[in-house]
A and B are shown apart, each in its own frame.
Chain A
Amino acid sequence: MGRKGKPLSETVWTRMDRKAGAVIELTIRQLRHRISTWVVLGVGVLLMALLLTFYIDSVRESFEPIDNDGDSEDNDGDGYPMGQERKYGTPDWNSDLYPGASVYIPESDIDWNDADRTEFGNKSWEGSAFFEASWVDDQYAGEWWDSYVDWNLNQEGIPELTDCSDWEMEDLYVEFWGDACDLGDGDGDGMTTYYVAGKWRGEGIATVPENYYLSWGHWTEEVYVEPEPPEMYINEDGIDCFDIFMRPDSRVDCPSEIRISGSHGFDDDGDCLAANEGNGDDDNGNGVRCDVQWIASNGVVTRIEADDLVDEDPDEQEYIGELGHRTFVIAVGKMAFVILLGLFIPLFLSLGLVRDETENGTLHLLLSKPIHRAEFIIYRLTGYLAISGSYVIGLSLVVGLISSILGPGDQIIRFSDIPVWIGIGVATTLVLAAYGSMFNAMGLISPKYGVYLCIVFGIWEFMMGSFSILNPNWTVASVSISHWALQMIDAVVLLAWPDTIQWAEMDRAFEIDSGLSVFWQPPVHTLGTASAGIALLNSLVVLLLVSVVWIFIAKSVFSRREIM
């Protein structure tokens, strides 16, 4: 028995429950009888089906391996990929220089002011000299601009050149470059002396005139090197981690269970060590050449700084599955659920919750009963939320279940996805509550123009939501409802998948390009604690507060409204 002697089943509270039940049930049935309800909810289901098809398609289609560092290309067209040329130390911009190609080895020179001005031997020469030749190589030739000397050998192998034995020395120096002339056998030893300027090969005594220059060397023999397939240089430098003792033989694929700050990473293809010796090979400035610095706090990797060309070409297949899956979940949660469903469902379902009763002339039926107008607003909104909230939570669980079965991983269902999807459903429901109470108030404030007000608000919310995804730190965006719901998803993601920061960092640092860092960033409103739990609570309070404020505004307007 209650205090006033009534049975407990007849207290004010149970009566209120029954009234609430009746109005909520009436609202649900009314919404169910409207075509627009089914249209907007049906479009939502279609949208999700489309997104899932898109996901299934991208999962089934095997991922094209990406050559992140571009070293599988053969830029100079010599048949060797850049990676192989790097290994052999030949450039990938000169088709003459390739692995196994003949190279010139310089030996020595006679400078313009050296005292000893004579050299003997069988060499490849370059410069100006009086050359008393025992043998010259007619095959030593190249492009004309390279100034190779044309010996013009006759059938006996004797050069037939201009006779310049009676020329003045000055004329000789001026006339000849890339050519030679015959000075005759001055000393009568049977060997002709030539004046030569340019590049040539031959055996003999070279005498360099005062103030002139000659260098010499030899060419190595060309060796055939098998060109490596370009595929060798795709995904050839994976992401490496080491155990807590950082032993080189403890190399494992990242992400490893061990999340510890330190120097990880290994230049598998050697391109960092080869290309940048002593210069720019410690970009992260940790004092270790060609490594990757992992920075973790409280067991969570928060930052990855890689030296250039280290771990730069990982196997996408290994990472894109997980990264792509998380990106899909977060992007669908934010764009499709919070922004699209969050805006359109209330626009169609909540705007006329109370207003339409006035316009249909049925409001007096309800208000001639012992029910306060504020109560009436709250019960109507509850009815609307019962439909829309159960719809989005149901839809998020279905989409979540399907995508977690399709998603990567050894389990049949990715159980770690479930809390994220519940979070998405709850965040969207809170958005539905906030927009619902707001749009309902708009419909009451201006029954005629409320819909336009709602559309203007909707555009604002859509824009701020989009900005919030790209840059959650932008303060202006926090004046929107969508911002807080998106923050809620960011926080839930971090709680359910604590290593998301690490994945986002890997995505960024090694350019895997899954888009995770576009759609997800750590929650902002943590009150300086960096705790996802605080951020979650914070967003929850803000969204509930917004709903309460708009219910209060609607109540104030409605209580003063005369019902004609």
Chain B
Amino acid sequence: MTMEQQNPPAVLIDQVSKWYGQVIGVNDLSLAIDGGVTGVLGPNGAGKSTLFKLMMGRIRPSQGSVRLFGVDPWKNTSPFRRVGYVSESEKLYEWMTALDFVTTLARLHGMTREEATERSAHVLEFVGLTDVMHKELGKFSKGMRQRVKIAHALVHDPDLLILDEPLHGCDPLARTSIMSVIRELGEQGKTILISSHILEEIERITEQIVILHNGRLLAIGNLHAIRGLLDKHPHRILINCEDPRSMANLFVTEEPVFGVRFPREGQLEIQTNDLSAAHAVLPSIVVSSNQKITSIENPDDNLDSLLGYLIKEGN
């Protein structure tokens, strides 16, 4: 018996494809993940949810094999003892209280009622819902619902946590608190897979990312390395201010800036080859301009441009 068989990785995806009739969900995907927090990035329809559904045995791969801790989750539910799953679905049992909900699902792991109640109260405290745990879920806000879902996924202290868009639809406050929860779990040494279509969210949680596009694996690795490539690519900075023209004069002399445009009334577009260098000089120029600035945007610093760049590079 080899070492690998004794300690199989938490997730092993081997040449997996999944078609829904003519539509491709996941195409020839191979992946092994064990330990740490991994961000699964991709626009809507990239195959993130399909990948997670395959891992949770909800759907069957058309080709290839999926293994959680070395076991096929479509045929055997035993790996779920070590897995916590937060699906993208918003649906919960609205008539239950949060504590009730988590306790009921905890009991499906074979806990006694007392044990389940105790642990549920504990995880609800961990996600910061102690105050409202006796409230019905129907009265919960979106952020609270996401945290309840995370609580139910954590109640049995899993080794692998699969989170499908856990920040989706949450307000900034809820986002921050969920992110800190996930970061803390990552620090506890769990293997965590978290999907999102927003780069910035993932960036704040982890550096290890997988990028999916049209069901294919586009990139895998450290976000910073990928980011560095992106920074050397032409970028735009949009500044909304009172007098864009006088502001433009201050910018054109700077090294990283190679062009300016005025796309709209009261708006300045700065074009640069080095985003970090541009951002380094930006504060001093803003101060010296003595103008009222309403906003500064980086329209190219998002997943779409990253994907656009990666796809172009690939070609």
Contacts and interface: CB of A to CB of B under 8 A. Distances in A.
A563 B81 contact: no
A231 B104 CA distance: 73
B85 interface: yes
A365 B91 CA distance: 9
Interchain residue pairs A-B with the least CB separation, the first 9 = A15-B110, A22-B107, A369-B108, A361-B91, A368-B85, A562-B59, A563-B58, A370-B80, A361-B89
B131 to A, nearest CB: 23
A21 to B, nearest CB: 7
B83 interface: yes
A279 interface: no
27 contacts: A14-B110, A15-B110, A16-B110, A18-B110, A18-B111, A19-B110, A21-B107, A22-B107, A25-B104, A33-B95, A360-B91, A361-B89, A362-B89, A362-B93, A364-B85, A365-B92, A365-B105, A366-B108, A368-B83, A368-B85, A369-B77, A369-B105, A370-B81, A370-B109, A371-B77, A371-B108, A564-B53
A564 B112 CA distance: 31
Given A26-B104, A365-B92, A365-B152, 8 more contacts: A16-B110, A18-B112, A19-B108, A362-B91, A365-B87, A366-B105, A367-B77, A368-B87
B8 to A, nearest CB: 17
A23 interface: yes
Given A25-B104, A364-B58, A563-B59, A369 B95 contact: no
Nearest to B18: A562
A30 B101 CA distance: 12
Contact of B58 (A19, A22, A562): A562
Interface string B68-89: 0000000001111101010101
A15 B89 CA distance: 28
Contacts of A15: 110
Interface string A20-42: 01110110011001000000000
Contacts of B87: 364-365, 368
A345 to B, nearest CB: 22
Contacts of B107: 18-19, 21-22
Interface string B93-106: 10110000000110
A29 B107 CA distance: 15
Nearest to B77: A370
A372 interface: yes
Contacts of A360: 91
B192 interface: no
A364 B83 contact: no
Nearest to B112: A18
Range, interface on chain A: 20 to 34
A30 B80 contact: no
A336 to B, nearest CB: 32
A564 B89 CA distance: 10
Interface in A352-399: 360-362, 364-372
A interface secondary structure, majority: helix
A26 B95 CA distance: 12
Contacts of B77: 367, 369-372
Interface of B: 53, 56-60, 77-81, 83, 85, 87, 89-93, 95-96, 104-105, 107-113, 152-153
- Looking at A22, A30, A364, A368, which has the most chain B CB atoms within 10 Å of its CB? A368
A482 to B, nearest CB: 35
Which of A21, A33, A360, A364 neighbours the largest number of chain B CB atoms within 10 Å of its CB? A364
Contacts of A372: 77
Nearest to A18: B110
Contacts of B83: 368
Contacts of A29: 96
Nearest to A16: B110
A113 B113 CA distance: 118
Contact of A367 (B58, B81, B111): B58
A22 B104 contact: yes
A562 B60 contact: yes
A562 B113 CA distance: 31
Nearest to A357: B91
B44 to A, nearest CB: 16
A30 B93 contact: yes
A360 B104 CA distance: 18
Nearest to A375: B77
Contacts of A366: 105, 108
A25 B110 CA distance: 14
Nearest to B80: A370
B80 A368 contact: yes
B80 A369 contact: yes
Nearest to A361: B91
Contacts of B59: 562-564
Contacts of A368: 56, 80, 83, 85, 87, 153
Contacts of A16: 110
A30 B111 CA distance: 21
A93 B63 CA distance: 96
Contacts of B108: 19, 22-23, 366, 369-371
Nearest to B152: A365
Contacts of A21: 107, 113
A360 B90 CA distance: 10
B194 to A, nearest CB: 16
A29 B96 CA distance: 9
A371 B96 CA distance: 21
Interface string A529-564: 000000000000000000000000000000000111
A29 B104 CA distance: 11
Nearest to B85: A368
Most chain B C-beta atoms within 10 Å of own C-beta, residue among A367, A369, A372: A369
A12 B83 CA distance: 19
Contacts of A365: 87, 92, 105, 152
A234 B96 CA distance: 68
A29 B97 CA distance: 13
A4 B96 CA distance: 38
A160 to B, nearest CB: 114
A30 B95 CA distance: 9
A23 B93 CA distance: 13
A361 B113 CA distance: 25
Contacts of B79: 370
B182 to A, nearest CB: 18
A564 B57 CA distance: 11
Contacts of B113: 21
A361 B104 CA distance: 17
Interface in A29-72: 29-30, 33
Contacts of B93: 26, 30, 362
A19 B94 CA distance: 21
A395 to B, nearest CB: 26
A486 to B, nearest CB: 39
A496 to B, nearest CB: 40
Instruction: Kindly name the residue among B58, B80, B83, B96 whose own CB sees the greatest number of chain A CB atoms within 10 A.
Output: B58
A16 to B, nearest CB: 8
Interface in A119-159: none
A14 B109 CA distance: 11
Contacts of A369: 77, 80, 105, 108-109
A560 to B, nearest CB: 8
A58 B53 CA distance: 64
A155 to B, nearest CB: 114
A365 B149 CA distance: 9
Nearest to A367: B58
